[in-house]
Amino acid sequence: MASVDVGVALLGYGTVGASVSRMLAESGDEIERATGHRLRVIRALVRDTAKERSFPAADGVLTTDFAAIRDDPNINVVAEVMGGLEPAGGYVRELLRAGKPVVSANKQLVAREGAELFATASAAGVQLRFEASVCAAIPVVKVLRESLIATNVHRILGIVNGTTNFILSRMERGDSYADALAEAQELGYAEADPSDDVNGADAAAKMAILATVAFGSRVAIDEVETRGITEIEPAHVAAAADLGMVVRLVGIATLANEAVDVRVQPAFVARSHPLAAVDGAFNAVMLQGDAIREITLEGPGAGGTETASAVVADLVSVVGTAGTGFLQNDACWRELDRLDPNAWRSPFYVHLDVADRPGVLAHAASRLAAHEVSVAQLVQRLGDGQAALDLVLHEAPLGQVAAALAEISAFPEVLGRPFVAPVVSDRSL
Ligand SMILES: NC(=O)c1ccc[n+]([C@@H]2O[C@H](COP(=O)([O-])OP(=O)(O)OC[C@H]3O[C@@H](n4cnc5c(N)ncnc54)[C@H](OP(=O)(O)O)[C@@H]3O)[C@@H](O)[C@H]2O)c1
């Protein structure tokens, strides 16, 4: 078989970049057999060419000169595995304008500057792919953009942050939040500064990208209603266990009545639900649509080799579809309204600490009923003049639940603020 040489450049040669280089070297024969193309890394942009690398680059490959990549006619495609908004964003724009297809692993860049980058790619007639930016090894962007193109996906449930899933899985086994976070850091799942993971920002960026691709309408990160896991206490995890549930940080994207809602928050997930089985640092995305009912993709959501697998897949897709080129187009083709958050419906879990006095429960139930919210399950624990109430509410609009809880919080018998989380249990569409 005649083979075509494809010159590849990397922006970045760190954890992911070095893994891409290793994978292209070690799997070069298989890729060539399958595609008829030999992908060779001929340049990689770094800050420090003298630094030790986990997979050393061949002599002359590392450079600190971006123009040497942009202006090299032998470079056919570039993988941006550098991270950050700048200079990565500026480099990607310049490369696209110079007619070079780009694949990116950078969720912040794609989520924040996707509109402009796709416009640039479209104007230049080159492809921009971003599979690795969401859930690393899980091929969810390709599935949404290609495999499920005609299925009207209207709901996405995702566990899209491995660090928080690891922490919550450990808390389920009895660890404290602090111990679980320390272990995640020791194992390399969490950064020294884990803020973006635990406050939900990382998951929000990924859910914004997934909703944008699935619904064909741009969702900005700042529009994602986001709550992290820092407020989760062992008591919440224990209450979930008593109710036959587990606590997970869940991203939920909903398209209803031509309006969109995207949120990331701790949710109580029924043990029978596929997302409850996602343990440790794994990620999972459940796609629900008219024609497909539901499809769940699960796998490693981070890691050098895992992320490199998606980068290499995008590189192969670029060379496999060069010339046909629909993927340089922005996935967005319409503007959707935002669903009124008060109208967003879900079953909810509520925890209340109350003074142990007669009538408190009936009083709370009457406020819920006044807002047409009904109770599906109730667990009461008594102790030392206080009672802890764990309630599971039937599906209701968020606004009605919030209004009832605002009234309940004002009772003198209610101690502290109620804790609320959506419950993920039904698999019905
Ligand atoms: N690691 C993961 O598990 C994972 C998972 C999914 C997505 N991603 C995404 O993949 C991207 C890369 O992540 P990573 O973990 O591989 O990061 P990393 O290990 O920190 O590597 C970054 C690379 O970019 C280079 N670089 C950074 N700023 C530069 C600049 N201004 N000029 C030239 N070179 C520069 C660095 O050069 P030096 O080596 O010389 O410092 C390094 O080689 C990020 O967007 C990240 O969000 C990573």
Residues 6+ apart with CB under 8 A from 267: 247, 248, 249, 250, 252, 421, 422, 423, 424
The atom number, within ligand 1, closest to the CA of 83 reads 45
pLDDT of residue 33: 86
pLDDT of residue 151: 86
Choosing from 10, 11, 15, 41 the residue with most ligand 1 atoms within 8 A of its CB, the one to mutate for a pocket test is 15
Identity (one letter) of the amino acid at 326? F
CB contact at 8 A, 9 and 78 = yes
The pocket around ligand 1, CB under 6 angstroms, is made up of 12-17, 45-48, 51, 81-83, 87, 105-107, 132, 136, 302-304, 307
Protein residue with its CA nearest to atom 44 in ligand 1: 83
- pLDDT tens column, 321-356: 876 444 555 778 899 999 999 999 999 999 999 998
The atom number, within ligand 1, closest to the CA of 106 reads 45
Both tokens of 165, joined, read 């899933």
- pLDDT tens column, 392-412: 999 999 999 999 999 999 999
pTM of the model: 0.89
206 is catalytic: yes
Q: Please tell me the distance between residue 359's alpha carbon and the centre of ligand 1 in angstroms.
A: 59
Q: What is the percent of the chain with per-residue pLDDT over 70, rounded to a whole number?
A: 97
Residue among 100, 107, 142, 206 flagged as catalytic: 206
Classify residue 43 by its DSSP letter. E
- pLDDT tens column, 189-209: 887 889 999 999 999 999 999
Regarding predicted confidence, which is higher, 416 or 428? 416
CA distance 119 to 389: 52
pLDDT of residue 118: 95
Residue 429 predicted with pLDDT over 50: no
Q: Could you tell me the domains of the chain?
A: 4-136+305-328 (3.40.50.720), 140-301 (3.30.360.10), 344-424 (3.30.70.260)
Q: Please tell me the distance between residue 53's alpha carbon and the centre of ligand 1 in angstroms.
A: 12
CA distance 231 to 251: 17
Query: pLDDT grade, residue 427 (50/70/90)?
Result: low
